[in-house]
Amino acid sequence: MCGIFGYIGTSKRAGSMILEGLKMLEYRGYDSWGVAIKKDDGSLYIEKHIGKIGTASLPSFPAHIGIGHTRWATHGGVTNENAHPHTDCTKKIAIVHNGIVENFEDLKSDLKKKGHTFKSETDSEVIAHLIEELNKSESDLVKVMQKLRSHITGLNAVIAFFPEDESFYIIKNGSPIVAGKGEKEYFIASDASAIIPHTKQVYFLEDNEMIELSKDGIRLFNKKAIVQKVAFTTLEYTAKSAEKGTFAHFMLKEISEQPTILRNIIDSQKTEIKKAADKIKNAYGTYLIGCGTASYACLAGTYLFSKIALRHINFAIGSEFSYLHDFLKENSLVFALSQSGETIDIISSVKKAKEKKAQLLSLTNSQGSSLYRMSDHNLLLHAGPEKAVASTKAYTAKISFLYLIAHQLAGTFEKGRFNLLKAVDEISQIIQNKTSIKSLAAKMKDHKSIFILGRGVSYAAALESALKIKEVSYIHAEGFAAGELKHGVIALIEKGTPVILFNPEDETYEDTLSAAHEVRARGAHVIGVSSKNDKVYDTFIEVANCGNATIIPNVVIAQLLGYFLALEKGLDPDKPRNLAKSVTVK
Ligand code: F6R
């Protein structure tokens, strides 16, 4: 959460590069944004705004060094004063920060007693004043920054900018940060996608590392000493894949990319899938963990492994796994799913699992991410950058991997491949013929609640579908196991309440149909999603039977429904309120 960007180099276009960088990082938080840039005339230019960056531009002036920030508020409301960058009392230090300084209240009251004046309610501002204070008795900025690190607690990434010296110090503990190296220039960003338009040479900082950037170049320090050489690596993806192109929104672009991504997984990932299946086969027990959409993919995984491979795989929500890991052993396998590879609830759980010497297999979309670097074995989703806050293509890519791994374990890979290809053809059709879903959204937009029901693996799909609809349309949407509704929640059904039923022709079919009758008897508007129509449905959406892979087209319908509901309500589906992609705070 929060995006930070820095530029130092020989270009005179620091301002526009920083702003472009922030636009790329805005998915990480869009409560406010701001920049601090040293103009070539020697003055420090600070500009801050609340709200999204949109098409904002900065006044044009030559500059070759500066920092920027896009905020997801944690401490302190959404105000100009709370927007980053923050400065010290002398305005000789400007900082941008991602994370939470957990002990900021103590530090703040101490600094106030020492005469520092605070302008914001944020935890971040203490960093600028603390650097100022430490610099009074220590002129070596490396030592100042090392002391700063030992004073602040929590998971943080900071760029401290010293305009007079024209230097940056970047420290990291927990929150992600990456440095990029171009021709006589360096970039710093929360995420490599903002650096890729300039260079593919990147270095992902590890916890407790610090980078100094100045006119003398780059120096990397670990906890104790200077590291002789910074080992930059070359990233594979292109800047183009992170652009919206002709699509109105990233969400629609990413929904539309799914057939290609899934076909690519089927065609190119067989070796990786086999390796992952072997890890699971040889493990004492496997624990799938993920948060949000990834958690619903994990839940679907437990059904898929059970049904296809006759294998019990455990599942825990990422943020809960820390309280559930006591049983892990050396040969346990933790299988972590995370699009960003940076979700803090996953990272902290995984750290605990590693302390118990469990093996870590990860499935992430982000090569070089924290999770990727921590893992013993990696699978990459190869879904390309996911920019819309609501995850779509990463979800179906995760399901495709889990589905094929389960078939590999069962020795039925070819059958899995066949059904998955059928599901891919089906989603191509759904995406091409999306106008019917658009019309449905127009009818549903004024309802206060939507329920989505399914049994078995379709229950996992119902949970993900409800999340997709609620997060972008703000309509209360709930997914339920179709058999559970009558145990209480059916009380919420009113005349006209839309109830979507995922009803594939599998062993759940007849029982799910009973649920359809039960809600219809209470006045619900029943929307059946199935390969077989029934008179109980008020609206029928036909989806081919693709075996257990049918959850993929089912969820794609919900993705499109969520997207069109957001448009009907005049909302921005790419940046829903209160959310940010890549949740790096607890
Ligand atoms: C919902 C959504 C979130 C993420 C969750 C985990 O559409 O995107 O629920 O799935 O924050 O993110 P990753 O997969 O990056 O760990």
pLDDT tens figures, 298-354: 999 999 999 999 999 999 999 999 888 888 999 999 999 999 999 999 999 999 999
Residue-level pLDDT at 486: 87
Indicate which residues carry an active-site annotation: 2, 581
Burial bucket for residue 55 (CB in 10 Å: 0-12, 13-18, 19+): exposed
Query: Which residues contact ligand 1 via a Cβ below 6 A?
Result: 291-294, 338-340, 343, 346, 390-391, 467, 471, 582-583
Query: Which residues on neighbouring strands pair with residue 541, listed in sequence order?
Result: 529
Residue 209 confidence class, pLDDT cut points 50, 70, 90: very high
- Residue-wise DSSP of 156-220: EEEEEEETTTTEEEEEEESS--EEEEETTEEEEESSGGGTTTT-SEEEEPPTT-EEEEETTEEEE
Give 341 Cα–ligand 1 centroid separation in angstroms.
10
Residue-level pLDDT at 197: 92
Q: Which residues of 290-319 are buried (b: 16+ CB within 10 A; e: fewer)?
A: bbbbbbbbbbbbbbbbebbbebebbbbbbb
DSSP, collapsed to helix, strand or coil, labels residue 356 as coil
Give 132 Cα–ligand 1 centroid separation in angstroms.
37
| Ligand 1 atom nearest to 346, measured from its CA | 16
364-383 per-position pLDDT tens digit: 998 888 899 999 999 999 99
Mean pLDDT of 87-109: 96
Residue 582 confidence class, pLDDT cut points 50, 70, 90: confident
Element at 335 (helix H, strand E)? strand 332-338
Residue 32 and residue 145: Cα distance in Å, rounded?
26
Q: Whose C-alpha lies nearest to ligand 1, atom 16?
A: 338
Give 219 Cα–ligand 1 centroid separation in angstroms.
34
Is the separation of the CB atoms in 477 and 469 below 8 Å?
yes
Give 192 Cα–ligand 1 centroid separation in angstroms.
18
- Helix segments in 204-343, DSSP class H: 250-256, 258-268, 270-282, 293-309, 318-321
Mean pLDDT of 5-25: 96
Residue 371 and residue 523: Cα distance in Å, rounded?
47
| Interhelix angle 125-137/104-113, nearest 10 degrees | 50
Residue 12 and residue 368: Cα distance in Å, rounded?
30
Indicate the pTM of the whole model.
0.87
- 216 or 470: which leads in pLDDT: 470
Residue-level pLDDT at 228: 74
Residue 485 confidence class, pLDDT cut points 50, 70, 90: confident
Residue-level pLDDT at 322: 86
Q: Which of the listed residues 72, 254, 288, 293 should we mutate to test ligand 1's pocket, taking the one with most ligand atoms within 8 A of CB?
A: 293
Residue-level pLDDT at 581: 75
Q: Is the pLDDT of residue 552 over 80?
A: yes
Q: Which of the listed residues 254, 291, 367 should we mutate to test ligand 1's pocket, taking the one with most ligand atoms within 8 A of CB?
A: 291
Structure tokens at 160: 């401290």
Q: Which of the listed residues 391, 393, 556, 583 should we mutate to test ligand 1's pocket, taking the one with most ligand atoms within 8 A of CB?
A: 391
CA distances in angstroms from 285 to 1, 299, 353, 407, 466, listed in the order given: 33, 16, 13, 18, 30
Q: Which of 261, 250, 297, 245 has the alpha carbon at shortest distance from 427?
A: 261
Residue 348 and residue 356: Cα distance in Å, rounded?
13
Residue-level pLDDT at 331: 92
> Backbone phi, then psi, for 13, in 5-degree steps?
-105, 35
> CB-based contacts of 511: which residues, under 8 Å, 6+ apart?
455, 482, 483
Residue-level pLDDT at 240: 61
Average pLDDT for the chain: 94
152-193 per-position pLDDT tens digit: 999 899 999 999 999 999 999 988 899 999 999 999 999 888
Residue 239 confidence class, pLDDT cut points 50, 70, 90: low
Mean pLDDT of 480-487: 92
Residue-level pLDDT at 238: 65
Q: Whose C-alpha lies nearest to ligand 1, atom 5?
A: 292
| Ligand 1 atom nearest to 340, measured from its CA | 15
Give 108 Cα–ligand 1 centroid separation in angstroms.
33
Q: Whose C-alpha lies nearest to ligand 1, atom 6?
A: 291
Give 391 Cα–ligand 1 centroid separation in angstroms.
6
Q: Is the pLDDT of residue 584 over 90?
A: no
Q: Whose C-alpha lies nearest to ligand 1, atom 3?
A: 292
441-481 per-position pLDDT tens digit: 999 999 999 999 999 999 999 999 999 999 999 999 999 99
Element at 553 (helix H, strand E)? helix 551-568
Q: Which of the listed residues 193, 288, 298, 343 should we mutate to test ligand 1's pocket, taking the one with most ligand atoms within 8 A of CB?
A: 343
Residue-level pLDDT at 237: 66
Q: Whose C-alpha lies nearest to ligand 1, atom 9?
A: 292
Give 388 Cα–ligand 1 centroid separation in angstroms.
11
Residue-level pLDDT at 124: 97
